Amino acid sequence: MAAEKTADFVTGPYRFAELGGINHFVTDEALGAFTGLLLAHLAEHGGTTERQPASKGWAILDSNQ
């Protein structure tokens, strides 16, 4: 599966998690499972709610601006 090769392109903490029966739009189909995995990742590897500067051409979108 192509998604399993993602680790080849990631330099930070990474874990592949397969959610059975879920298609491309994970947050539409399994928001609770996705949120649980995300929160566990942030708890293990740290995270912040502070805005970080955009880098490598990526923009941070904030609908509250």
How far apart, in Å, are the Cα atoms of 16 and each of 10, 38, 56? 11, 12, 24
**pTM for the structure as a whole:** 0.61
CA distance 39 to 53: 22
User: What's the pLDDT score for residue 65?
Assistant: 47
Average pLDDT, rounded, for the chain = 78
Q: What is the pLDDT of residues 14-25, one digit of tens each?
A: 888 888 899 889
